[in-house]
Structure 1
Amino acid sequence: MIKIQGLVGGYSSEKPIINGIDLHIEKGEFFALLGPNGSGKTTLFKLVTGQLPVLEGELLLTNHPISYYSKLEKAKKVAVLTQEIQISFDYTVEEIISLGRYPHQTGFLKSLSTKDKTIMREVMQLTNTEKYKDKQFRNLSGGEKQRVLLAKALTQEPEILLLDEPTNHLDIKHTFQMLDLIKEWQRTRSLTVFAILHDLNIASLYADRLALLHGGKFLEVGDSETLRKEEQLAKVYEVLIKAESHPVVPKPQLLMTPGNVEKEKVVAFSENFSFYQDEEYVHIKSSAPLRTISNGVVGEGIKWHKHFCNFHVSKTYHCNDPINDIQQWLTERSIPHEQTVGMMTAVQLSDVVVQKEKIEDLELMAVVTAGVGNAVDITKTALKQIPVTIGTINIMLFIHAHLTDGALVNGLLSAVEAKTKAMHDLQIMDPQTNTLATGTSTDAMVLAVTQHGEPTPYAGSGTLIGKGIGHIVYKAVTEAILTYQKRVGLNA
């Protein structure tokens, strides 16, 4: 559909900006052009649209040079939407959109046919611009104008849509609405899209392929996985970039780190936490956000949190909507649920165990409640869904260390191993299988680290951190289970 070979061009033949680019964009493909200001994106765009002359090489649209097409033929084939939204004359929105049908009109007077009006009406409905049709274009907001110009472009029924940073004037909602609509036309009408996008995350979500332009040349052309190359992106954009996976779609999303990040004041680990406890909940608050990995009811995954809460519920509590319940309880106590890891337990909170350890320079704290009435041997239990009951070993583990995400997972595994060993040594049995239990059916855990000190990628059983985790979790879980057994009248 678009074929570029050895392309050289720019504003001056003596110093071209684009220096030997090869590219092939297939029919029905969404291709995004990325790069910082000055990389040559706009120059390449103007070469493709014919606004600048090609000095060397070849640029073909559907196997023909741009010069092969008359202006009218090119307008039937290609629509252009730029970030410039100035219109010289005072047209209504409907008049602006009607201009998109001009290449398809016949006759001397070029009047709108029934087909033209039908297409205009369909596109205005799709772009949500019909309500503006009688308004003067100049009276619209920047975002509304951009949607009108998109409607004009789509009304052309082009084979190729060229976009130059089309979402610059749009808020988040309308950015996604516009690109969703373009993707739908790409899918249903085999529309070929060639877009300059400045937002790397948007490009990752919408482009089938993308190119990274730097100094007038392509550093790389590929799919969205190209954006996982952090060192290459940092070189091009001169910003520290971290690639993460989107939680819903299998695409990378990029996090930029400013160069003037103010480091949190280092507070002594022993002074970093405030602790509140009553019959209804336990609340540990950190003076600074901690990097966490958790399977808590609220705050699951790998995130940052300042609040850690364990709520008491009755043994007859029905888990219809535990997330909403905990969020409501947090709100009632003026604790922001967005910054909180929240758990629940039927164990009496007066039995909570708090263990603190210092091993060489490593400081740890474990806060544990344990009930083992629903203990389960995960290797022997019947392969069917078991109704959720409240028993639960809840572990909150805090460490004064700097762990990578991989080390967080390592640390969580170390804690699980220690919990299971404590249960085995205490001979906790699965009542259904009469075998040693490995946990309970509703265990919850959070590992939270201060992220101070040198980063470490490991926290397994062969490391000091892993051994520290195993030591403190084993002690705390053992004490919590013994306390629970004493309360319910069982022999340790």
Structure 2
Amino acid sequence: MSLDVKKLEFGFGKKNILNNISLEALKGEFIGILGPNGCGKSTLLKNILQIYKPKSGIINIENKMAKEYSLKELSKIIGFVPQKSALAMPLLVEDIILMGRYSNLQSSFAGYSKEDYEAVDEVIKLLDLEKFKGRIAFSLSGGEFQRVILARALVSAPKILLLDEPTSALDLNYGVQILKICKSIIKKRNIIGVVILHDLNLASLFCDEILMIKDGEVAYKGAPNELLKKDILKEIYDLECEILHHENRAVVVPL
């Protein structure tokens, strides 16, 4: 499985949001997308998901253009954890996770199969959610609910996992837990992971490679240790900082 984005252009009307964006990700890689608010990070994921249609450029998934997949086919390949998830109904945790199997239904009238429920049980065990299985999701903490949303994305055994700021509303402990789980799954299942992050130190800790986007363009691409430099962070974020190193990992200390 591969994800290949080449010379992607996207905008609303005459205003361009993404300019000449290229991204290549292979199985087993955890790629971080970094950059200031409004630079186009979430828009890039929505183009990959075909929520938005590019003005030009190519998005290939396993050597096939993304637009050639049906939405059902695409939802089997890509698991997505959105930036915000809100509940309008008091659903059980198990039912929310089961939603992730919708694309596997043989027909709208067939209902979920034994295999679907077994997949739900498997991902519940994987993410240590057994004690929450029968609970109403409204009763969960933010970190607990985020694990449920991650389980929903993983239950269809996707080949690509896209995460849009999965740690933004979490305390540091839960943020580390979520990314540790994601990286472990990406490596064990040999799938592609792409995550949007604002926390530079979490990116340094978990990402194999990072892309830094500014004004809708890829400004830098490389390993965290190569890009987490004072001059680069000043250019991208206008951030004054010092860079320390711990166990061969860059640590960003704002001034």
Q: How far has the Cα of 1:108 moved from its partner? A: 4.8
Q: Matched residue of 1:17: which SS?
A: strand
Tell me the matched-pair count. 254
1:17 is matched with 17
Partners of 1:32 and 1:194 within 8 A in 2: yes
1:394 is matched with none
1:2 is matched with 3
Distance in 2 between residues matched to 1:34 and 1:110, nearest whole Å: 42
Over residues 371-426 of structure 1, what are the superposed CA-to-partner deviations in whole Å (9 max), with x where a residue is unaligned? xxxxxxxxxxxxxxxxxxxxxxxxxxxxxxxxxxxxxxxxxxxxxxxxxxxxxxxx
2:160 partner amino acid = I
Q: Matched residue of 2:55: which SS?
A: strand
1:88 aligns with 2:84: no
1:176 aligns with 2:180: no
Residue ranges of structure 2 left out of the alignment (5+ in a row): none
Q: How far has the Cα of 1:220 moved from its partner? A: 0.9
Distance 1:56 1:83, change over 3 A: same
Q: Matched residue of 1:54: which SS?
A: coil
Percentage of identical aligned residues: 34
2:234 is matched with 234
Higher relative contact order (CA closer than 8 Å, sequence separation 6+): 2
Residue ranges of structure 1 left out of the alignment (5+ in a row): 258-492
Partners of 1:85 and 1:145 within 8 A in 2: no
2:250 partner amino acid = P
Distance in 2 between residues matched to 1:67 and 1:104, nearest whole Å: 20
Partners of 1:242 and 1:254 within 8 A in 2: yes
Q: How far has the Cα of 1:213 moved from its partner? A: 0.5
Partners of 2:81 and 2:153 within 8 A in 1: yes
Distance in 2 between residues matched to 1:237 and 1:160, nearest whole Å: 29
Q: Matched residue of 2:111: which SS?
A: coil
Partners of 2:211 and 2:222 within 8 A in 1: yes
Give matches, 1:110-125, under 5 Å: 110-125=110-125
Distance in 1 between residues matched to 2:39 and 2:169, nearest whole Å: 22
2:4 partner amino acid = K
Distance in 2 between residues matched to 1:85 and 1:189, nearest whole Å: 25
1:252 aligns with 2:254: no
Distance in 2 between residues matched to 1:242 and 1:227, nearest whole Å: 13
Distance in 1 between residues matched to 2:65 and 2:109, nearest whole Å: 30
- Larger-gyration structure (1/2): 1
1:62 aligns with 2:68: no
Q: How far has the Cα of 1:107 moved from its partner? A: 4.5
Distance in 1 between residues matched to 2:107 and 2:56, nearest whole Å: 39
1:52 is matched with 52
Q: Matched residue of 2:47: which SS?
A: helix
Partners of 2:119 and 2:156 within 8 A in 1: no
2:191 is matched with 191
Distance in 2 between residues matched to 1:159 and 1:218, nearest whole Å: 24
RMSD: 1.5
Partners of 1:11 and 1:52 within 8 A in 2: no
Distance in 1 between residues matched to 2:12 and 2:170, nearest whole Å: 30
1:243 partner amino acid = I
1:253 partner amino acid = V
Distance in 2 between residues matched to 1:228 and 1:107, nearest whole Å: 49
Q: How far has the Cα of 1:150 moved from its partner? A: 0.5
1:226 partner amino acid = E
Q: How far has the Cα of 1:15 moved from its partner? A: 1.4
Distance in 1 between residues matched to 2:38 and 2:160, nearest whole Å: 25
Partners of 2:220 and 2:227 within 8 A in 1: no
Q: Matched residue of 1:52: which SS?
A: coil
Give matches, 1:457-476, under 5 Å: none
1:164 aligns with 2:164: yes
2:106 is matched with 106
Distance in 2 between residues matched to 1:75 and 1:38, nearest whole Å: 26
1:400 is matched with none
Q: How far has the Cα of 1:75 moved from its partner? A: 0.9
Partners of 1:26 and 1:192 within 8 A in 2: yes
Partners of 2:221 and 2:227 within 8 A in 1: no
Q: How far has the Cα of 1:22 moved from its partner? A: 1.8
